[in-house]
Amino acid sequence: MSMNVFQELVRKYNPRGLWIHDVEIASIGIAHGISTIATNNVADFKRITELEIIAI
């Protein structure tokens, strides 16, 4: 299930370099119904429009 979400996000965002790991983390959360995350890494996650980001 999360693999399908991951593949969709990769097609949509075409992540390069280390950003692929953030997209993978996001896909796991999205696949499990998470729509909001709290992170110190706002810059990378804010590009993923499927998530609401809370800076910590």
Q: Residue 9 — very low, low, confident or very high, per pLDDT cuts 50/70/90?
A: very high
In eight-state DSSP terms, residue 38 is: E
Provide the domain count of the chain.
1
Q: Residue 1 — very low, low, confident or very high, per pLDDT cuts 50/70/90?
A: confident
pLDDT digits (tens, 9 = 90+) for 12-42: 999 999 999 999 999 999 999 999 999 999 9
Non-local CB neighbours of 47 within 8 Å, separated by 6+ positions: 13, 19
Q: Looking at the predicted structure, is the pLDDT value of residue 8 above 90?
A: yes
Non-local CB neighbours of 54 within 8 Å, separated by 6+ positions: 36, 37, 38, 39
pTM of this structure: 0.90
What range defines the domain where residue 39 resides? 2-55
Query: Which own/partner contact pairs does 13-21 have at CB distance under 8 Å and 24+ positions apart?
Result: 13/47, 13/48, 19/44, 19/47
